[in-house]
Structures are given as structure tokens and as C-alpha cells.
Chain A
């Protein structure tokens, strides 16, 4: 991807986000489920209902509501949550770091685990044991993240209760943070006991997210390694007397990495989507968990803010992945 392409992609971000905003805004108001209908108490008269509608700005025509919302959004004001009574922007900013830390840890686990499985798989290439690795990868891939979440919950929360199964941090822990990046902050400030407590809570949800991703990384990397290993340059290197580990690590691995990063990058966006259910199951306080509550409560402003946040994350991730692939692949770098 050349710099011109990067600029083009950056210029496409505003119209993409605008399109997402329009779709979400219209869909929320067309699909049955009215936030006011959910909060009207017994005995409320039509006037009482209208007053609530006016109070939350839902009495205006849809177009006018959108224009008002868009005007405010352009100044960084994404409205006020109907259910939480706080600024949507502040709410999302407060919870986004929890999801980012979880997704980052899950990605790290997936990459490490995927690498190990791929290496074991390529090591066993051509042997019967390779089937076991391939079968294991198939199982990891076939089970979705939310099901892994339930399996891990049962396994490590109930049968062998090694790890906490809910929340982001132990409620008994009296600790304050300056930022919402709890893990990062505790690591940077040397509070390793706090970091340890946080990791205890993150390991099960991040594993649930990581396992299918790890399987994908393993499958793509192993296939790419096998293909690259069969290439002439690898065979020539072998003929010149280089050891297989050396050829794999220095010659084959860099080439096999390109398709893995490209496809793995797409998987990171899916992993972010997976946080919605996994955070719910582990009562983890990220934006995924918040999104479910927002939908249940038909909290229009909060849903709009969360969908836009996910959209920004997806776009940014895709851009970063494309840039990384470009850096790794000289053919793309030099056009």
C-alpha cells in the first residue's frame, strides 16, 4: 500500500462513519422497541408519556433528531445516555480501555499459542501426529468464543476453581487508578500485585477470545510455512547444508508471516466483536458488556456511540493491518 493509498483510505473514514451513523440512527428508530415505552410507569397519561418523550428529545421528527445529534457529535458531544444519565462520550471512554486491554491480551495469547501450534504442526509434518495437531486446531476453531467462555467458566471457575470468573478486578482490592487502562497503568507504575490481580480476572475471558483466533493463526501459519518450505529457495538452502530450524526461522517464517498477518488482522476485528458476549458471561466491564445493556434498555444515544466506536476500531485496525502487511511485503511496499 503506497502513501497515496493511505491518504485515500484516511479520506474514506469520515463518509464511512457517516454512513454507519445514518444506518444505526435509522435502524434504531425503525425497529420496534421504544425507550420511552419501556420506562412509562403504570398510570402514566398520554401527557406524561409526551413529557418524557420531550425530555429525551424523542418527540422531534427523525431527520431533525439526526441533524441535532450529528451537530452535537461533530463537537464531540454524542448525547446523554437514557439509562445511565451520563455523557455517552465519557461512558465509552471510561469503558473502552477495559475492552482494549482484554482484546490486546487475547491477541497476544492467540499469537503465541498459534505460533506454538503451527511450529509443532510443521515439525510433525508428514507424520501421523500431524493429524492430532490438525484435529486439535479444528476443534479450537469450531467452537465459538462464547462457548469457550462457558467451558472455561465451568472448568476453571467451578470444577477446578483456580481463577475468578467475574469482573475486572477483585472488589475487595482497595486501589485507585488515574487512567482506565488499569493493567497498563499498574505495570508502568510497578504495582505488580495489582497487575497480577487484574491478569487473574482477564485470563479466562481473554483465553475464550484467544482460542479460536489461535487456531486460525496456527492453521494459516502452518499452511504458509509448508508452502514456503516447499519453495525452491528453501530447498536450495537445505541443499547448501543449512539446518531446517535455521531455514524455517530465517527464510521461511518471514514469508509465511505475510498471509498470517493479513488474515489474522481481520480476525482481530472479529475478536473485538466477540467481546460483547464474552464480557457479558464474565461480567467484565468493557464496552461489549455495556452494549448489551444499551440494547436491552433501547438506550439510543449509547447504542449509537458504541456502534460508532466499534466502527472506528474496525477501520483503524484494518488500516494498521494493511500497513503492517505492506511493511512486511516488499512487493507491496515498492508497488
Chain B
């Protein structure tokens, strides 16, 4: 054994010398970055892949729209309660026989480079969106109007195919006006590098996957934004977003686990707010065995205690629903109910020869961690089903797999999903989720194709909404889908801020003010 003669002092000196570069100037520089006055820092839950709000996957990602709506103006604005209000278009509408649309463009609006927003910009944006070559995913909506004519600030266009939700789309996905002259001058790549819009904030600095810094647009036509600077920090990990709030590094965040929300809102200096949003949890029913049996479908629905799931797993943050229309949607009908009734579920199953001793078996697919407590929720539902005579096996899949399986009509007999509907129209909830020809529909039955088909072209709005309500009632009676609950969005922010929560789930910096 070699005796130790290396002196303690020399070891300490060596350690100290090595540690010096790590410590000096690093920890001495102060604490975690604190917000500068006049700056609003939002710990945001997704990255911003692209600035063009009309092209590619990010254009149809509802979560990114808050950022787009801070920079760009939609054709038509949306109020926090999902109702529509003037935006860059001050007036819009159909003519009597729905063969023409008329749009009136706001006067005095400017782009971030100071040039005026013109009707030519509006027409160019609509035509570009309708062009197959642009890669706009909602092109099938925009292509239903064409032959635009400009007269002063008024635009008219011919309806090529009637789309009742056209104006609703003008407030949401890909419904943004872009600057014609600037875009044509800089091209797609140039626009990505230096985008300009006409929204309340303009892009000041962007570090991909790190942050986006916006400055108030002084020439904005609407109310002056309360903050000179807005920083979106892209903090995609929920734990890190919680830490951002606790460390004081951000002023506002959302989409955090409900347990953390309850803990944070109890802290001094932080305020917690919740609002039901236009996003629902549901179980798709695919029209394959054993779901072709109405008794099995209805039993599966009646056996689920939605309130217990919301109370126990989501800490009460959810609103149980019976149809794909949540409260606040245009076709919501509170008279349609599907009661939690395990005895009824048992008797329905008994009619088809099933019982807890001789259960009907099928597979249910779910994500794990994509939405709050998704897997745990399905575990609970499987437990409830087992008690009445349904033996379901759980298969976990990624959300990307869900999309692919759904598009191929290859989902399991039951599949958990969440369905957003920011414009609150029945066509974009019940319609696309339950209409056979839709790539998003799991129930391809002719019964619904026949009922929903005529509603797509219905020109009388009252008749259209009544028609959708009737469809929802029929679906509930037939058990062709299992709506579970409406999600509630948790928002945490510093005291001294006033945040206007949007029913569509957007966190718009222009609606955040000092309390």
C-alpha cells in the first residue's frame, strides 16, 4: 500500500484552481433573469416552427395561433366567448341567394413596415390560400370563393361552392391577411427570416426553439397593447414551465398539470385562473365488431361516470358532456343527456348475451401523457366497464399513430382522443368527426352520412344549427361516439396582471394588461 504524501493543501489548491473558471463570473452575475419593466414574458408550451400562418403543419396547429394572432390580423376577429367581431374586415356577409360574398376592409390599418393594408392584400391572401400550390391545408375552404373584384374598400367574390362556415374560418386556422407587396418582394424564405404582419405586435428577435421577442406595433388600428415588449419563451416541458413561474423568470404560463396549478395558485404573488376551452375529451367508436352492436355501444357510454373521472383525476377541472358540442358552441343542446347508469349498461349488455362473467372484449387505444391524465382516465374507464361486463385491453400509441390510423380507418373499436373546435361550429366538431367521408371520422355508417350530408350546404343558418342538434341527439341515442368532458385550461400569472382567457384556449398578449 502506498502511503499518502499528497498534501491536503495541494489538493485544495488544485481543486480551487479548477473550480475558479466555473464559479467566477457565472454565479456572481445575479439571479435568474427578471422581467424588465414594460415587458410581458410568457412561458409558452410549444415551439414556433414557422412564421407563415397559412402553410404547413403549424398553420393547423391550434396551440400556435396565439402567437400568430399577436403578429398577424385574421380577416375577422373573435371575442373571448367565441363570437365574431370586426377585425381587418369591418363587414362581411352573403348576398340573398348565397352566390356572392361582400367584404369591407378596414381603413387606416398599417403593416409593421408602415405601409397601408389594402384590399389588394386581402384578395391576394385569399387567392394565395385557395391555390393548391401554396400548400395551405385549408385550401379546400378558401377555394370555394373566387373571381374577386375590388371597389374602393369593398371586395366582392363569387361563391363557387357554398361553404356555410366560410366566415368562421376567417377567424381561425390559416385565416390571416399577409402583406402582398412585401411577400412578393422578399419571397417565402425572406418572409420566414423577417416576417411582418398588421397585428398588435411586430417581430423583434427570434431564436428558434428558445424565444420570440415582439415589440408593440405603434400604428396598430386597435387598442394600444399594454406592454411594449412581449417575450414568448418556448418552454415545452411542463415541469420547466412550472419552474419558470416559481423562479420568477416568466410572468404567465398555462397548460401545466392541475396538481401543480393548485400548488402554484396558493403561492403568494401568483394568481391562478381556469376557463373551459373549446377542446373536448372523447372516445372514438369505430364501426367494427363488437361496436356494430348498439347495446354494446350504449352500455359502454352509460357505464362511464364522467363526473367521477373529472373530480378524481382532473381535480374537478373539466365539464362532463354528452355530445361533441360543448357549452358555448353554436349547436350545444343541454337537453341531450346520456346518464351514468351502470344497471342500464348491464341490462343492455345482457340483451346481447354479455355479463361480467361473460364479458364482451375489445381493444381501446390511448395516448399516455399527451393530454392530462389520459392514460389514467382510460384505466379508470376500463375498470368501470369491467364491472358491467366489458373487458377492454388498453393499447398505448403516439398521437402521430392515432392520426395515421384514423386517416386509414384502422383505429381500434374504441380510441381516446381530444377534439378542438375553436370556431365552435357543429360542422367542425360533430361534422368532421362523424361524417363518413371525412378522413377524421371513425364511424363510417351510412346512417350518419345520410343525416349529415344535407347539412353541409344548408343556407338557412337556423335550420342548419337545428339540423346539427338533431344529428347530435341521434348519435347520443345510438352511442356512435363517447364524448367525455370539456377541458379546462389552467392559467398561472403574476399578481398585478389581468389576463382575458379565451374560450378557444388562446393566450393573446394583446389582451393581457396591468391590473
Chain-A contact segment, one of B85-93, B95-103, B239-247, B458-466: B239-247
B368 interface contact, C-beta 8 A: no
Q: Which residues of A contact B397 (CB under 8 A)?
A: 32
Q: Mark B240-284, 1 if CB is under 8 A from A, else 0.
A: 100110111100000000000000000000000000000000000
Q: Are B211 and A171 in contact (CB under 8 A)?
A: yes
Assess whether A280 is in contact with B403, with CB atoms less than 8 Å apart. Answer: no
Residue from A33, A192, A286 whose CB has the most chain B CB atoms within 10 Å: A33
* A109 and B407 within 8 A (CB): no
Q: How large is the interface on A (under 10, 10 to 19, 20 to 34, 35 or more residues)?
A: 35 or more
Question: Which B residues touch A52, using CB under 8 A?
Answer: 135, 137
10 contacts between A and B (CB under 8 A): A32-B398, A33-B404, A41-B173, A43-B140, A112-B19, A116-B18, A119-B14, A164-B249, A166-B249, A171-B41
Q: In the bound complex, what is the Cα–Cα distance between A200 and B30 (angstroms)? A: 9
Query: Is A171 a contact partner of B213 (Cβ separation < 8 A)?
Result: yes
> Given A126-B4, A244-B4, is A283 in contact with B50 using a C-beta cutoff of 8 Å?
no
* Contact status A37-B406, CB under 8 Å: yes
**Which one of A42, A48, A83 lies within 8 Å of B139 (CB-CB)?**
A48
Closest 3 CB pairs of A and B: A42-B432, A33-B400, A244-B5
Question: By the criterion CB–CB under 8 Å, are A33 and B401 in contact?
Answer: yes
- In the complex, the answer to whether A293 meets B47 with C-beta atoms within 8 Å is yes
CB pair B32–A164 under 8 Å, yes or no, is yes
Partner of B403, one of A34, A116, A167: A34
Cα-based distance from A34 to B401 in the complex (angstroms): 7
A153 to chain B, nearest CB (A): 5
The answer to whether B27 and A163 have CB atoms under 8 Å apart is: yes
Q: How far is the CB of A264 from chain B (nearest CB, A)?
A: 16
B41 and chain A: residue at smallest CB distance? A171
Give the complex CA separation of A290 and B48 in angstroms: 11
Q: A222: CB under 8 A from chain B? A: no
Min C-beta distance of A190 to chain B, whole Å: 14
Interchain CB contact under 8 A, A34 and B400: yes
- In the assembled complex, the Cα of A293 lies from the Cα of B19 at a distance in Å of 35
Cα distance A298–B135 when bound, in Å? 17
Q: Which residues of A contact B8 (CB under 8 A)?
A: 123
Question: Which residues 295-318 of A have a CB within 8 angstroms of B?
Answer: 296-298
Which chain A residues lie closer than 8 Å to B25 at the CB level?
A: 192, 196, 199
Pairwise interchain contact A283-B58, C-beta atoms closer than 8 A: no
A172 near B39 with CB under 8 A, answer: yes
Bound Cα distance A292, B296 (Å): 40
Q: Given A95-B209, A153-B243, A245-B5, does the pair A280, B407 have CB atoms closer than 8 Å?
A: no
Determine whether the beta carbon of B11 is less than 8 Å from that of A123: yes
Which residues of chain B have C-beta atoms less than 8 A from A59's C-beta? none
Q: Does B472 contact A (CB under 8 A)?
A: no
Binds A, one of B117-125, B230-238, B301-309, B346-354: B230-238
Pair A83/B240 contact, Cβ less than 8 Å: no
Q: A140 on the interface (CB 8 Å rule)?
A: no
Choose the segment among B383-391, B434-442, B481-489 that binds chain A (4+ C-beta atoms closer than 8 Å): B434-442
Contact residues in B for A150 (Cβ distance below 8 Å): 239
- With both beta carbons as reference points, the residue of chain B lying nearest to A108 in the complex is identified as B21
A282 contacts partner chain B, Cβ-Cβ < 8 Å: yes
Which residues 13-39 of B sit at the A interface, judged by CB distance below 8 A? 14-15, 18-19, 22, 25-27, 29, 31-33, 36, 39
Nearest Cβ in chain A — how far from B341, in angstroms?
32
Q: Which residue of B lies closest to A226 (CB)?
A: B2
Bound complex: CA A282 to CA B137 (Å): 32
Known: A32-B401, A109-B22. 18 other contacts (CB 8 A): A33-B401, A34-B403, A39-B56, A44-B438, A49-B407, A52-B135, A83-B50, A84-B50, A86-B50, A115-B18, A122-B6, A164-B249, A165-B243, A171-B210, A243-B5, A281-B240, A283-B210, A286-B209
Could you tell me the distance in whole angstroms from the C-beta of B6 to the nearest C-beta in chain A?
5
Query: Is A3 located at the chain interface by the 8 A CB criterion?
Result: no
Q: How far is the CA of A7 from the CA of B211 in the complex (A)?
A: 44
- A82 and B138 form a contact (CB under 8 A): no
Query: Which B residues are CB-close (under 8 A) to A38?
Result: 57, 400, 403
Q: Is A8 an interface residue (CB 8 A)?
A: no
**Distance between Cα atoms of A116 and B440 in the complex (Å):** 59
The answer to whether B209 and A290 have CB atoms under 8 Å apart is yes
- Are B439 and A49 closer than 8 Å at their CB atoms? yes
A168 on interface, CB distance cutoff 8 Å: yes
By the criterion CB–CB under 8 Å, are B208 and A34 in contact?
A: no
Q: Is B357 an interface residue (CB 8 A)?
A: no
Distance between B308 CB and nearest chain A CB, rounded to angstroms: 31
B79 at the interface (CB under 8 A from A): no
Q: How far is the CB of A238 from chain B (nearest CB, A)?
A: 7
Known A-B contacts A38-B403, A85-B56, A164-B249; A170 and B33 likewise in contact (beta carbons under 8 Å): yes
Q: Which residue of B lies closest to A282 (CB)?
A: B240
